Amino acid sequence: MDPFLLEALVNGILLGGVFALPVLGCNLVFGVVDVVWLCYAELVMVGMYAVWFLHTQQAWPLYLAFAAALPLVGLLGVLLHLIVVKPLLGAPPINQLLATGGVLFVLQGGAMLVFGTDFRSLGVELPPMEWHDVFVSGTKLAAFCAALAGAAALWAFLKFTYIGIAIRAIARDREVMPLMGVDPRRVYVVASAVGGALAGLAACLLVVQLDVHPFIGLSFGPITFMICVMGGLGNMLGGFLAAFLMGLIVSTGSFWWNTEMSYVIAFAFFIAVIFGRPRGLFAR
Amino acid sequence: MEEPALVLEGIRAGYGDFQALFDVGLRVTPGEAVGVVGPNGAGKTTLLRVISGMIRPTRGTARFGEVDIAATPAHELPASGIAHVPENRRLFPHLTVEENLKVGAFIPSARKRFAERSEYVFNLFPKMAQRRHQLAGTMSGGEQQMCAIGRALMSSPRILLLDEPSAGLAPIVVAQVFELVKRIRDEGLTVLIVEQNVAQVLRVVDRAYVLDAGRVVAEGASADLAADPAIRNSYLGGH
Ligand SMILES: Nc1ncnc2c1ncn2[C@@H]1O[C@H](COP(=O)(O)OP(=O)(O)OP(=O)(O)O)[C@@H](O)[C@H]1O
Ligand SMILES: [Mg+2]
């Protein structure tokens, strides 16, 4: 096989892994709380700034900066839930969308005020790996492995812990939960914390690959939501698979045409999917 | 510890402007099995929902031992010993049998006893043990009902509320469900069961209330109710 095509395929899978985390986070929150966090990519942006700030400005070792980003953005998720989402739980979905969309602009504006519009680079890069003329960025590979580890940890949490199982249960039937002694409001907070922590992990993986600036969310936010809808909103496994599909479309698109065109193709594919399967690729 | 009694007095409850229960009184003493029967829309489900805190009464008092039901959030009632198997089971079809049981064991006291309680449930329903890793939604109606009852038993309740456990099941399965209810009560668990299957439920309970249009129209020992000509005509299809 053409090593460049192979490289594109490998990169597509690596990209899919990075898409997967915010998709899982969005789906988790939506499945449980029934509210879309339109500002999800901006939570990631805040996490990226946090890592950049702690590492380059405060001279924290990188691993400590990473370790801080998860609880920090997790806490941000909880605050978002308590301050913005919770008061609107009974409100029409459009109001909830507008509110979390408003937070998007608040976070963008806040980042601009605090950090300015400069592109901030972490300046770390792992050496590339080579295998039979196929070159893969070491940084991307490490990010991919961390993304898979994060997804696996999420899976174990949802599969084996009481609160994780309750999260999967509540996504299907919230009225019945109090009969089992589960306070849905508490589960919402836990899901928001985990959803935020996933954004924090995504931030760690992205900040080593991309320069951070206040509008960075726009470069992966829309595609995150496209993937969520393609996989079926709230469907974790569907979103996970769709993330890899989208990664492959984008990277092979860039291989055959160019990067700009690849996003056009990805978007066209998305439109085709929502016409053909409005409830997602994997809806039964 | 002395077992608590369930006492309802003058309960009014409904949905918005619609009143479904009118001054309902009811008493279940520890160790008793009590039935609530009545036609569709009589308010039987509403009554159980009041007892498990799912809806608040607009008037009257509801107590379970020392616990003031109307003043306690619904999600705190399982910890005081109330377990409710709701109408239509409301299992989580996409979770396995074991995961459904784990949701039933969510409260801290139940988590600690998970191994012991799941053994009790599997002993009660040997079929559930074979199917512990099967998705609940793929089981038959009767098996799902067993799973729903098992899920409620996981919290070591002191009173079990059952809302039409026999609904939608084949006659032979209905007989199994009633057999099971009998076994649970014979083990000493207090049971309050709502049923439309009047003749059969009167065979497994000590006493019963007849609810009609939101009011208690009759109550008494099962045998007396089963023999009462008026009850037989109105609620037992005249047989
Ligand atoms: N969620 C609800 N909103 C509005 N009205 C309701 C609701 N649930 C029940 N009702 C009404 O309250 C009354 C009592 O209903 P309930 O479900 O308690 O009756 P039931 O005795 O359980 O009937 P069935 O035997 O059919 O289950 C009915 O008139 C019903 O239409
Ligand atoms: Mg009913």
Q: Is the pLDDT of residue A177 over 90?
A: yes
Ligand 1 closest atom vs CA B196: 25
Instruction: Tally Cβ neighbours within 10 Å of residue A248.
Output: 18
Instruction: Report ipTM for this prediction.
Output: 0.93
User: In sequence order, what are the beta bridge partners of B191?
Assistant: B33, B160
- Per-residue pLDDT averaged across A262-280, rounded? 88
> In this prediction, what percent of chain B has a pLDDT beyond 90?
84
- What does the alpha-carbon distance between residue B211 and residue B18 come to, in Å, rounded to a whole number? 17
Instruction: Tell me how far apart the alpha carbons of residues B200 and A217 are, in angstroms, rounded to a whole number.
Output: 63
Closest CA to B60 of B52, B232, B234, B51: B51
Q: Do A179 and B78 touch (CB under 8 A)?
A: yes
Is position B64 within any domain? yes
Kindly report the nearest CA distance between residue B76 and chain A, in angstroms. 6
Ligand nearest B41 Cα, by number? 1
Domain-embedded: residue B42: yes
B181 CA to centre of ligand 2 in angstroms: 18
Contact A166 B86 (CB under 8 A): no
Q: CB contact, 8 Å: B104 with chain A?
A: yes
Residue of A nearest to B79 (CA): A181
Residues of B in contact with A180 (CB under 8 A): 78, 103-104, 106-107, 151, 155
pLDDT in tens, B61-109: 999 999 999 999 999 999 999 999 999 999 999 999 999 999 999 999 9
A179 touches chain B (CB under 8 A): yes
- If one residue of B11, B15, B195, B212 were mutated to test the ligand 1 pocket, choosing by the most ligand atoms within 8 A of its CB, it would be B15
Residue B125: inside a domain, yes or no? no
pLDDT at position A165 over 60: yes
Q: What is the pLDDT of residue A136?
A: 83
Ranges A4-13, A166-175, A234-243, B156-165: which has the least confidence: A4-13
Q: Do B78 and A173 touch (CB under 8 A)?
A: no
In a domain, B153, yes or no: no
What is the arrangement of strands in the sheet containing B6-15, beginning at the earlier edge strand?
B18-28, B6-15, B59-64, B67-68
User: What's the gap in Å between B46 CA and the centre of ligand 1?
Assistant: 6
The pLDDT of B188-211, averaged and rounded, is 93
Which residue's alpha carbon is at the smallest distance from atom 31 of ligand 1?
A: B41
Asked if the model's pLDDT at residue B1 lies above 60, the reply is: no
* Boundaries of every domain in chain A: 3-115+135-276
Ligand in closest contact with the CA of B213: 1
Amino acid making up residue B140: S
B155 contact A CB<8A: yes
Does the structure show a pLDDT above 50 at A96?
yes
Domain that holds residue B64: 1-80+195-239
Residue A21: pLDDT band with limits 50, 70, 90: very high
CB of B53 within 8 Å of a chain A CB? The answer is yes
Rounded distance, CA B102 to CA B82, Å? 17
Q: For chain B, say whether A182 makes contact (Cβ under 8 Å).
A: yes
Label residue B138 by pLDDT band (50, 70, 90): very high
Residue B237 has a pLDDT of 64
DSSP sequence for B135-196: BGGGS-HHHHHHHHHHHHHTT--SEEEEE-TTTT--HHHHHHHHHHHHHHHHTT-EEEEEES
Closest residue on chain A to B90 (Cα): A176
Chain B interface, best mutation among A157, A168, A180, A186, by max B CB count within 10 A = A180
Cβ-contact A173, B92 below 8 angstroms: yes
What residue's CA is closest to ligand 1, atom 17? B45
Residue B239: pLDDT band by 50, 70, 90 thresholds? Answer: very low
Nearest to A182 among B54, B106, B151 (CB): B106
Asked if residue B158 belongs to a domain, the reply is no
Residue B227 is predicted with a pLDDT of 87
Ligand nearest to the Cα of B38, by number: 1
* A168, A178, A184 member nearest B54 (Cβ): A178
Q: State CA B99 to chain mean position distance.
A: 21
Is residue A101 predicted with pLDDT exceeding 90? yes
Closest in B53, B94, B103 to A180, CB measured = B103
Residues with CB under 6 A from ligand 1: B 15, 18, 20, 38, 40-46, 87, 196
Q: Which of B74, B106, B151 sits opposite A162 (nearest CB)?
A: B106
* pTM score, whole prediction: 0.92
Residue B59 confidence class, pLDDT cut points 50, 70, 90: very high
Alpha carbon A163 to chain centroid, angstroms: 22
- Looking at chain A, the whole-number percentage of residues with pLDDT higher than 70 is 100
> What is the CATH code of the structural domain delimited by A3-115+135-276?
1.10.3470
Q: Whose CA is nearest to atom 12 of ligand 1?
A: B20
The CATH number for B204's domain is 3.40.50.300
Instruction: Evaluate if residue B175 carries a pLDDT over 60.
Output: yes
- Domains: count for chain B: 1
**A160 and chain B in contact, CB less than 8 A:** no
Is B168 a member of any domain? no
d(CA B164, CA B40): 11
Mean pLDDT for the stretch of residues A56-65: 94
In chain B, which residues have their Cβ closer than 8 Å to the Cβ of A181?
75-79, 106-107, 110, 155
CB contact, 8 Å: B157 with chain A? no
On the CB side of B59, CA atoms within 13 Å amount to 9
| Span A172-197, average pLDDT | 96
Residue B56 domain-assigned (yes or no) = yes
How large a percentage of chain B has pLDDT more than 70?
98
